[in-house]
Structure 1
Amino acid sequence: MAERRKPMQAQDKLAFLLALVPYLMDRDRVSVAEAAEHFGVEKAQLRDAVRLIAVSGIPGETNQYQPGDLFDIAWDDFEENDQIVLTHQVAIDDSPRFSAREAAALIAGLQYLSALPENADRDVIGSLMAKLARGASAAPSQVAVAGSETDETLAVIRDAVAAGTQLDFDYLNSRGERERRRVDPLRIESIDQDWYLRGWDHLRTAIRTFRLDRIDDLRATDEPITYRPGDVTLPETLFEGTPDDLLVQIEVSASAIPLIIDYIPDGAPRDERDGRVRTSVRVAHYHGLKRLVAGLSGVLTVLDPPEARRVVAEWARAGAERYQ
């Protein structure tokens, strides 16, 4: 014979109702049976609690209850299908919420995280995105983050870093030269949407940084790495200068200096005037300026040498012509 649960005391009922409201708000739809099992109560008790919620609320400015001052549910669904769907919420709606733009930005970030190999098929990320969409002050814009072409490359490199094995690949450097490299992978880092591999380059016999979208014909090997992270010193900055770098004079907004600090040589003069700074950056090739300028459009201006200005101007003109 099934054991009957003891009737709830008044204090228990209040705690039950306080827990039930956010539970229902957190779900678009839930069955009476599922909710009753979650709280360990009889289905009849759960139904009574839902009916009580539906006549609860906060009086408006007239201190009298109006239809919009009460919780409401989808009654047909409740009575006919034993399903609970909150169609109107009060009181808690007055708490601060993300704006539609804020929620859309967060959802885009979560979509990017879910696209990474280590986060694939994680239901918790999908659940969080749904909560953000429901909890925003207005419906967020529909956003989608496309999978990157480097996703597969990133997965192979992560496995090699974890296993401590060498990688073999073709690499296209900033000067357009392609070489076969054998590398001890030591660290993976990202800047904005770009991913970089840092490791010991056996061809250069030095620490080098490789951008993943320039890696081709990647092969994982069974050869153990020669140098481990504790054996070498990885520079604090992602980009290290070389004697072959080219110096380019630029003018940039003072607030954007932290964004390009890795490109500014140590000791480079900075002349600040009216919120603008004139200084120099180092690049491996003038064509490398394209991405830098594109990321700071309207903020950074190339001043000198003329060849650098010409390369950037031609690139910008070619891009503009595609829209004509």
Structure 2
Amino acid sequence: MAARAPQGARDKLAFLLALVPYLLDRERADVAEVAEHFSVSEAEVRQAVRLIAVSGVPGETDAYLPGDLFDIDWGAFEDDDEIVITHRVVINEPPRFSSREAAALLAGLQYLSALPSAGGHEVLDSVMTKLSRSASAEPSQLAVQSAGDADRILATVAAAVDAGLSVEFDYRTARGTSERRVVDPLRVDSVDSDWYLRAWDRRREAVRTFRVDRMSAVTQGSQAISTRPGDVAVPDALFSPSDQDTCVTVLVDVQILPFLGEYVDSVPDEVPAAGRVEIGLRLAHPDVVSRIAARFAGLMEVVDPVELRDEVRSWAQSALDAYETVPPSSDRAD
């Protein structure tokens, strides 16, 4: 086969990148054999091999030491025209996670394995073991705290969904009231660390969304569900707009916009990179605005309606007044 010289730097680079794995797959390779395989001249093969011998990656000191470079059997190369790589770098060492990266991934896998609805725990355990071993350094030991009652409630709800049985529970609404609900569970969804039950409420005869952490005294009924997931439309959005919703205008710091999620109803066309912006919220219950304001204290101000603004101010003042009624600690250090 006639030799063909690579044309330009791009072809030379492609040849070099293909040559390295070719040589690594073979214990020995003749210069003439390599030249014929890649359709290049023997002189170009020798030039490429000499370049490989001074290639590698810098070590921890950012300097190239002998162990950081490829090496070849120079005697076989110079005397017998044979190419033998005696020291390998880079190609046979895949990138490794740092200890911090591995710790973050392990924490996520621990969280997944702790979920009652997560299957294949053996697979997750195997992945975590391999990840710990393959990190560049020993990952930091992290523990994911269980949510306690919420996990048990979630397990009961998930089992009812799988079994197609009704669920009964006490539900604390955003207004702070509690009432007994009997529902046909349809599916379980999550948003960040919050879990929600999507279910057909038998009393209201409509699909409702329930936060798992507001459910208590949960029991799995013995009755089969009368409304199945295929019988009704369950929207992907957790909260669907309703004519009964309360629309609230608030002034918020732009940094909390991503955290307001589906509460946001309207946003200006142009949002500044920093500072405050006036937006609209749509809430199922007006009391929810107090909870949002408490979560983002100092970063949100209720503008309208005025009566809701006054209610939030009164609620915050009551919370402050409660601190004044707390007696001082008797074991305070002098």
Q: How would you bin the TM-score normalised by the shorter chain?
A: 0.5 to 0.7
Confirm whether residue 308 of structure 1 aligns to residue 306 of structure 2: no
Identical positions, percent: 43
Equivalent residues of 1:103, 1:133 under 8 A apart: yes
2:97 matched to which residue of 1? 98
Tell me the C-alpha RMSD between the 2 structures.
4.1
Deviation sequence 1:235-282 (CA, Å, 0-9, x none): 2310134455433333446576454341123xx353644225321113
Against the structure 1 CA distance between its residues 151 and 141, is the aligned structure 2 distance closer, same or farther, given a 3 Å change threshold? same
Deviation sequence 1:114-158 (CA, Å, 0-9, x none): 111244782332232233233334433321111122112112211
User: Deviation at 1:174?
Assistant: 0.8
Against the structure 1 CA distance between its residues 246 and 166, is the aligned structure 2 distance closer, same or farther, given a 3 Å change threshold? same
- Superposed, 1:1-324 pairs within 5 Å as 64=66, 91=90, 95-119=94-118, 122-148=121-147, 149-252=149-252, 257=257, 259-265=259-265, 268=266, 270=268, 272-275=270-273, 276-285=276-285, 287-289=287-289, 292=292, 300-304=299-303, 305-308=309-312, 311=315
Structure showing greater Rg: 2
List gaps (5 residues or longer) in structure 2.
1-23, 28-55, 71-87, 304-308, 327-331
SS of equivalent residue, structure 1 residue 195? strand
Against the structure 1 CA distance between its residues 310 and 92, is the aligned structure 2 distance closer, same or farther, given a 3 Å change threshold? farther
Deviation sequence 1:273-292 (CA, Å, 0-9, x none): 42253211133445534664
Deviation sequence 1:43-100 (CA, Å, 0-9, x none): xxxxxxxxxxxxxx9998777459xx9xxxxxxxxxxxxxxxxxxx975796433233
1:41 matched to which residue of 2? none
SS of equivalent residue, structure 1 residue 260? helix
SS of equivalent residue, structure 1 residue 213? helix
Output the TM-score relative to the length of structure 2: 0.60
Against the structure 1 CA distance between its residues 274 and 140, is the aligned structure 2 distance closer, same or farther, given a 3 Å change threshold? same
SS of equivalent residue, structure 2 residue 235? coil
Q: Distance in 2 between matches of 1:59 and 1:306?
A: 65
User: Deviation at 1:168?
Assistant: 1.2
Deviation sequence 1:15-48 (CA, Å, 0-9, x none): 8x9xxxxxxxxxxxxxxxxxxxxxxxxxxxxxxx
Against the structure 1 CA distance between its residues 117 and 242, is the aligned structure 2 distance closer, same or farther, given a 3 Å change threshold? same
Q: Distance in 2 between matches of 1:291 and 1:99?
A: 39
> How many positions carry a matched residue from both structures?
247
Equivalent residues of 2:170, 2:218 under 8 A apart: yes
List gaps (5 residues or longer) in structure 1.
1-13, 18-56, 70-88
